């Protein structure tokens, strides 16, 4: 919890107001819990500000994130905050435990990234959640240099959060805010399986 | 993101179903971002399961968490998930930048904890978010041994999430799941102040 006091004032020619409005690239990585949950928590905060939000679900199984999807749908439809668009392309981009070759999944992921590029170009959302996007980057399904260049050069004030383990060093270098969720203790170490309401 | 495969099956006499329903004590600590956001993200997941949720806000300033409070109010009132009770006791338990002596704030925090004990005893909620509760523990405003004993002995299936820096070792010892949010990079290091929609 930062105390709101920067350690120094940068000599970048920007006013505090301009610096406050600077678009952020945020990465939640590490092997601990909370990478995606914190990203969806940020999305609810952005929703409360009335921002348009785009979620891009690059998760392992289509049944993941059902709680988050339901919550953001209810929030988006309430009219009390920003609109929320949940981008999943049907079963798309969820490549484990479903039919299809690796080439199919790579093509799905590439199409997902192409959609994000189109949305960034027209400044469609104020906040983008690219959930588990580190994996298609790691597996070469999207080009890391293209991702980093596109995010660096994105127009306007579009915040982007990327979650997942094993974030590429080039992505971390480009990011403004990086948190590593470090596992200290997990019930699975004591033989416990995932729990409804906690894991999904 | 655990793969759902425990490293071993414990010899505790419980079935997998019983273990899945075991109440969890979760701690999000460390100096990085995402401790509270991940806790509120978990709360939306619990809401989607239809669970009753109690939030206990032990934050530094009353204007904090306004986005999360609004989101959980809208979700709770939607009737599509569980009910949400946001416990703040008016201005209560927010001890920085407001009038009052340290003794007042300590008494507020102690009363907050007394309320949590009463709720745990009657199993009022399925999920408790004790936001920034590590601070009153650290400052001696609540008794750590009492907290740990009460949480260890709580009845039923009540999940508890505690957030904040500098979690007491006795709390970590009692916890089932601990994540340390480790700061890798933060915009304030580059002289940037907090941003609306991101920090609050």
Lowest mean pLDDT among B34-48, B139-153, B180-194: B180-194
How would CATH label the architecture of A26-181?
3-Layer(aba) Sandwich (3.40)
Q: Which chain A residues are Cβ-neighbours of B75 within 8 angstroms?
A: 71, 74-75
pLDDT tens digits for A136-178? 999 899 999 999 999 999 999 999 999 999 999 999 999 999 9
Give me the DSSP letters along B118-152.
Answer: HHHHTT--SEEEEETTHHHHHTTSS-HHHHHHHHH
Cβ within 8 Å, pair A45-B68: yes
Task: Return the higher-pLDDT residue of A22 and B23.
Answer: B23
In chain A, the DSSP E strands lie at 25-29, 53-57, 84-87, 127-131, 159-163, 177-185
Question: Are A197 and B159 within 8 A, CB to CB?
Answer: yes
Edge-to-edge strand order for the sheet containing A127-131? A84-87, A53-57, A127-131, A159-163, A25-29, A177-185, B177-185, B25-29, B159-163, B127-131, B53-57, B84-87
Nearest to A37 among B42, B48, B188 (CB): B42
- In this complex, the residue of A48, A74, A180 whose CB is nearest that of residue B78 is A74
Residue B191 pLDDT greater than 80, yes or no = no
Pick from A132-141, B48-57, B150-159, B190-199: least confident: B190-199
Of B40, B74, B191, the CB nearest to A80: B74
User: Which pLDDT belongs to residue A3?
Assistant: 45
What pLDDT does A198 receive?
72
Q: What is the ipTM of this complex?
A: 0.76
Inspect the interface and report whether the beta carbons of A67 and B75 lie closer than 8 Å: no
Nearest CB among B45, B127, B178 relative to A200 is that of: B45
- Residue A105 predicted with pLDDT over 80: no
The structure tokens listed for A148 are 């980093």
- The rounded mean pLDDT for chain B is 84
Question: What confidence tier does B90 reach under pLDDT thresholds 50, 70, 90?
Answer: very low
Distance from the Cα of residue A109 to its chain's centroid:
14
Is A162 an 8 Å CB contact of chain B? no
Q: Choose from A12, A38, A64 for mutation: most chain B CBs within 10 A.
A: A38
Query: Whole-number mean pLDDT of chain A?
Result: 84
A187 vs B contacts (CB less than 8 Å): 22, 24, 176-177
Residue among B56, B78, B82 nearest B69 (CA): B56
How many helical (H) and strand (E) elements, i.e. helices and strands, does chain A have?
A: 7, 6
**Alpha carbon distance B97, B55 (integer Å):** 22
Give the residue from chain B lying closest to A23, CA to CA.
Answer: B195
Question: What confidence score (pLDDT) does residue B49 get?
Answer: 93
A180/B32 CB distance under 8 A:
yes
pLDDT-derived band at B61 (thresholds 50, 70, 90) equals low
pLDDT at B189 over 50: yes
CA–CA separation, B95 and B59 (whole Å): 8
Where b means 16+ CB within 10 Å and e means fewer, B169-199 reads eebeebbbbbbbbbbbbbbbebbbbebebbb
pLDDT (0 to 100) of residue A195: 73
B residues 18-77 closer than 8 Å to A (CB): 19-22, 24, 26, 28-30, 32-42, 44-49, 51, 60, 66-68, 70-71, 74-75
Instruction: Provide, as residue numbers in chain A, all residues whose Cβ is less than 8 Å from the Cβ of B70.
Output: 48, 80-81
Give percent of chain A with pLDDT exceeding 70: 77
Q: Looking at residue B165, what is its pLDDT?
A: 93
Half-sphere exposure of B60 (CA within 13 A, CB side): 13
pLDDT digit string (tens) for A34-90? 899 899 999 999 999 999 999 998 866 656 788 889 999 999 999 999 999 998 754
> Which range scores top for mean pLDDT: A3-12, A176-185, B30-39, B122-131?
B122-131
Q: B22-181 is classed in which CATH architecture? A: 3-Layer(aba) Sandwich (3.40)
Kindly tell me if the per-residue pLDDT of A121 is higher than 90.
yes
- The answer, yes or no, to whether residue A22 has pLDDT greater than 90, is no
Beta bridge partners, B53, equal: B84, B127
Q: Over 90: is that where the pLDDT of B160 sits? A: yes
Q: What is the pLDDT of residue B19?
A: 62
Q: Among A41, A177, A191, whose Cβ lies nearest the Cβ of B41?
A: A41
Q: What burial letters (b/e) apply to B63-98, b meaning 16+ CB within 10 Å?
A: ebbebbbbbbebbbebeebbebebbbeeebbbbeee
Out of A28-42, A128-142, B97-111, B161-175, pick the least confident. Answer: B97-111
């Amino acid at each position: 919890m930062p105390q709101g006091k920067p350690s120094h004032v940068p000599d970048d020619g920007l006013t505090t107001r301009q610096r406050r409005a600077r678009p952020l690239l945020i990465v939640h990585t590490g092997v601990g819990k909370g990478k995606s949950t914190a990203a969806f928590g940020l999305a609810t905060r952005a929703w409360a500000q009335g921002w348009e939000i785009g979620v891009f679900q690059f998760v392992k199984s289509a049944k993941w994130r059902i709680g988050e999807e339901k919550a953001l749908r209810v929030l988006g439809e309430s009219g009390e905050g920003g609109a929320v668009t949940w981008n999943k392309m049907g079963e798309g981009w969820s490549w484990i435990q479903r039919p299809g070759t690796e080439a199919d999944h790579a093509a799905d992921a590439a199409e997902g990234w192409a959609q994000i590029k189109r949305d960034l170009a027209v400044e469609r959302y104020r906040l983008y959640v690219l959930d588990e996007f580190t994996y298609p980057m790691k597996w070469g399904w999207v080009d890391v240099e293209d991702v980093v260049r596109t995010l660096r050069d994105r127009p306007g004030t579009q915040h982007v959060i990327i979650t997942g383990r094993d974030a590429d060093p080039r992505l971390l270098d480009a990011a403004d805010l990086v948190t590593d969720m470090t596992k200290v203790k997990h019930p699975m170490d004591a033989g416990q399986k995932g729990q409804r309401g906690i894991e999904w």
